[in-house]
Structure 1
Amino acid sequence: MSLKLFLFGYPRLEHGGHSLPLKLRKGLALAAYLAMAGKPVGRDLLAELLWPEAPSGEGRASLRRTLHRLQRQLGIDLFVTTSETVALAPAVVASTDVVVFQSLLERHSSRAPAGQTMAELHQASSLYRDDFLLGFTLPECQDFADWQARVCEELRQGFGEALTQLAQAAAAGNDYEAALAYAQRRLTLDSLHEPTHRLLMRLHAEAGHPAAALCVYDECRVTLMRELGISPQKSTESLRRTIADGVYPTASVPTSEPTPVRYVVSDGVHVAYRLYGEGPLTLVVLPGFVSHLDFYWDQPELARFMQALGHMARVVCFDKRGVGLSDRIDYAATPQHTARDLLAILDAESIERVVLLGVSEGGPTALTLTATTPERVTALVLYGTLARALRTPDYPWGYPPERYDAQVEALINDWGGPACIESFAPGWALDVERRAWWARALRLAASPRTVKQVFEALKSIDVRPLLARIDCPTLILHRHGDKAVPVEHGRFLARQMPHAQWVELPGEDHWWWVGDTRDILRHLDEFLASLRHS
C-alpha cells in the first residue's frame, strides 16, 4: 500500500504519488488523530471527540457512516476496524510525515553517534514544512481543537530544538552560513525566544560580522518591548556589550541543554528524562505539579540551581507522565504511577540506588517510593512538601476542601498567564519578565485539564501511614513563610519520621530556585557530603 498521510500543513492523503480527494473534514480529523495515536482507539472516544453534541449512540452511528463514506470515496482500506475500535492502517501510520518526524527526533535523543543523529535532524527538519494541521479547524469540537493545539505546540518545540542543535553543529564545523540559516528559521518559529536572539548574535559575531550581531540585538529589544513590554535579559545585554567592545565569545555556540532528552516506556507511556552531572551519588529530582525538561535551562536562576545540583551528584530529572515532554494521558497520575515511571528510568540506566529529592507535589511520590522500595533509596530529601493536602480533625493544617477547590479553580482560570505566581513565587510577582517566563513555562508544561487532574488526584493522597516505615537518612527543608504549602506540613513530616533532619528556612517563595537559594544548596551539599563519607 503506497498511501501517505501528510499532517504538516493542511492535511492531505496521497496514493502512488497522487493526491486523493478526501473532502470530509471529520474524516481528515479522524485520520490525523489515529495517525498520532498509532494504535486502535475506542469508538466511544472517537465519537465523543468528533461528535461531542450528538445524543448517546448517535455519535457512534456518525462515526460508522463516516468510515463507510470514506471507504466508498477512496476505494481503499484506510482503516482497520473492529466492533469496538478503529485504527489507521499500520503502513499509513508508518509513512505519516509527523510520525516519521517524531521517530527521527527520538532516535536523535538516543545514544547513536553524533554524526548519525545530525543526519537524522537534517531529515526531520526537511519534513517540517508548516505547522501541524495548519489551516484545518473543527470549531464545533473543542476537545479536538485542544488536542490539535497541544500537539502543534509540542511539534514546534521539538522542531525548534532540532534547529538549535543543527545551528550549533554547523557552527562547530565553521559553516556559519548554514548555522545562521538554521538559527534564523528557529527565530521565525518564535520571535520572542530570547535564547535564539543570543544565538544569532554569537553566530554573527564569530563569523566576523559584529554590526549584524548588534542589529539582531536591536530587533530583539524592539520586539520584546512591543510584544511583552519588557527589556532584554541581563545575559543578552552582557553579550551586546561584549560584542560592541570587540571581545567575541571564545566558544563557538554554547550548548542549549546539558544532555539529550531520553525516553523510557512505562505502562505503555513514554516518559522523558535527562541525566547530567557526575559523582558517586545519583540524585533524582521529583518535580512539583508540572514540569518541562527544557524550561529548566531557559530561566537563568533555575538553570543555575540545576547546574549546582550537577556539581554535587549525578542528576536524574524527568517529566511525569502527562506533563512536559512525556506522553499525555487521559487520567490522573498517582504517586504509584510516578514511582513506577521512575523505577523504569533507573532500570533503563542500570542505576541501583538513589537519593530522592521530592519537591512540592513530588514529595508524596518520594515518600511512597522510599517506604515501598527501600532497597533502591539511599536517602531522602524533601522540600516544601506535604503528607496530605486536605484538612481532617487529626491534620488541622490541611486545606479546607472548599478553599482547596477555589484555589484550583483560580489556577485553572488564570492558566495561560502567570497563574498564581503570587503564591508560588511572591518574589517574582512584580517582575514583568519573570511573569512572562512563568506563564510560558506553564503553557508548555501542561494543559488546564491535566493540571486539574493533578490537583484532583492530590486531594485523595495521604501518605501518613508510610512515614514510620522510612528509616533512611532524611533531610526536610521548608521555608517559614511558604504561601503555597504552609510550613506546618513540613513540621508534621519531621515529627513523624524518626531519622529526619528538619531545617526551617527564611523566605516566602515556594519554588526552590526563587529567592535566596544559598541556604538550600548549602544544606543539600552538606547532606550529600555526609552520605559520601559514611
Structure 2
Amino acid sequence: MFMNSELVKKHKISIEGNKNAAQTIVFAHGFGTDQTAWDKVKKAFAADYKLLLYDNVGGGSSDMAAFSPIKYSTLYTYADDLLAIANEFELKNAIIVAHSVSGMIALLAAIKAPHHFSKMIFIGASPRYLNDSGYIGGFTQEALDSMYETMRTNYYAWVSGFSAAAMGNADKPELGQGFAVTLGAIRPDIALSVAKVIFESDVRNRLKEINKEILLIHAHNDIAVPVEVAEYLHENISGSKLVFVDAEGHFPHISAPQEVISAIKDFIE
C-alpha cells in the first residue's frame, strides 16, 4: 500500500516483524522515551505479528515542526494522532501495547474508534497523576510546580535526577542513563509543555466507556504510578486484568523485558 510519507515522517513510523502476519501489534511509548524503548520486548513477537512502532510528536525522532504547545495541550490530540496512524495502516482489531501516558491515549482512541483495536495492554498507566479527594495519584500540585521550576531553570540536572528515580534499579545505573539520553534529547521547552499536559491530565471520567480486553501491567516501587492507581484502574475498567510483574520502577519493559513479554503472551495467546 502507498504510505502517507508526511505521516510516516511526523511519527517516524516503522513497520517491522512478520509483514504478512494477520494481526498487528502497535507499540506506543511513554514520556521521555521513544520507540527504541521496545527493543528488548518487540523481538519476542516479530515472528508471529506485524509490528508497528511510532514516536509521539514532541519526542524521539518525530517531526519537531509538527509540535505546537497549543495543539498538544490535551491527550485527545495524541489520541487523534494514533487514530490517524490506525486509519492510514487500515488497522482492524490490532493489539496495542502502550506505556505510561500512551495507555490513556490508546484508551481515548479506542473509545472513539473501537474497531481499530482488540486487546490492549497498558504498562504503568495512570488516569490522573495528581492526588484528589478520595483519590491517590501520587503527586501534589506543589510537587509538580517544584518539578516544573527545576525543568525550567536547570533542565539537564532535572533529567539526571528524574531518569534515575523513575527507572529505579539502582544496581543497574546504565538503565537510568539510557533513559536520560532520550529524555535529555527532547527540547527543554517541549518537555516542560508535554510534562504539564501529562501530569495534569484526568481521564477518570472516561474509564467506564471502554469495552475491550485490557491487561494492566504494573511494577513495584513506581514513583510515577503508585499501587493505588493500578488498583483504581482495575476497579474502574470493566473486565480488566491486573498483573504485578517481578520488576521495579516505571519502565519494566526496559528493566525486566522477559517479565513483560511473558505477561503479554499469557494475555494475547
Shorter-chain TM band: 0.7 to 0.9
Where does 1:242-261 land on structure 2 (aligned, <5 Å)? none
Letter in 1 for 2:121: V
Where does 1:382-397 land on structure 2 (aligned, <5 Å)? 382-397=122-137
Residues 1:330 and 2:71 aligned together: no
Matching residue of 2:23: 281
Inter-CA distance 396–292: structure 2 relative to 1 (3 Å threshold) = closer
- Displacement, 1:487? 1.8
State TM-score, norm by structure 1: 0.45
2:49 to 305, 313, 337: 313
- Residues in 2 aligned to 1:455 and 1:435: alpha-carbon distance in whole angstroms: 18
CA contact (8 A) 1:494 1:501 kept: yes
Matching residue of 1:443: 184
Q: Mind listing any 5+ residue stretches in structure 2 that lack a counterpart?
A: none
CA contact (8 A) 1:421 1:429 kept: no
The more displaced of 394-403 and 422-431 is 422-431
2:156 to 411, 415, 429: 415
CA contact (8 A) 2:60 2:182 kept: no
- Residues in 2 aligned to 1:492 and 1:470: alpha-carbon distance in whole angstroms: 15
Matching residue of 2:232: 492
Letter in 1 for 2:31: F
- Displacement, 1:381? 1.0
Inter-CA distance 375–111: structure 2 relative to 1 (3 Å threshold) = closer
Where does 1:144-223 land on structure 2 (aligned, <5 Å)? none
- Residues in 1 aligned to 2:262 and 2:104: alpha-carbon distance in whole angstroms: 24
Deviations 1:90-117 (A, max 9, x none): xxxxxxxxxxxxxxxxxxxx989xxxxx
Matching residue of 1:343: 83
Aligned residues: 261
Max radius of gyration: which structure? Answer: 1
Deviations 1:434-479 (A, max 9, x none): 45433322233x1111111111112442111111111211111111
- Displacement, 1:428? 4.9
TM-align CA RMSD: 2.7
Inter-CA distance 493–264: structure 2 relative to 1 (3 Å threshold) = farther
DSSP 3-state at the match of 1:336: helix
Inter-CA distance 481–525: structure 2 relative to 1 (3 Å threshold) = same
- Residues in 2 aligned to 1:429 and 1:418: alpha-carbon distance in whole angstroms: 16
Select the structure with the greater relative contact order (CA < 8 A; seq sep ≥ 6). 2
Letter in 1 for 2:27: V
Identity of aligned residues (%): 21
Matching residue of 1:425: 167
DSSP 3-state at the match of 2:13: strand
- Residues in 2 aligned to 1:304 and 1:514: alpha-carbon distance in whole angstroms: 7
Inter-CA distance 459–303: structure 2 relative to 1 (3 Å threshold) = closer
- Displacement, 1:430? 5.7
- Residues in 2 aligned to 1:312 and 1:415: alpha-carbon distance in whole angstroms: 40
Residues 1:475 and 2:208 aligned together: no
- Residues in 2 aligned to 1:509 and 1:397: alpha-carbon distance in whole angstroms: 16
CA contact (8 A) 1:421 1:435 kept: yes
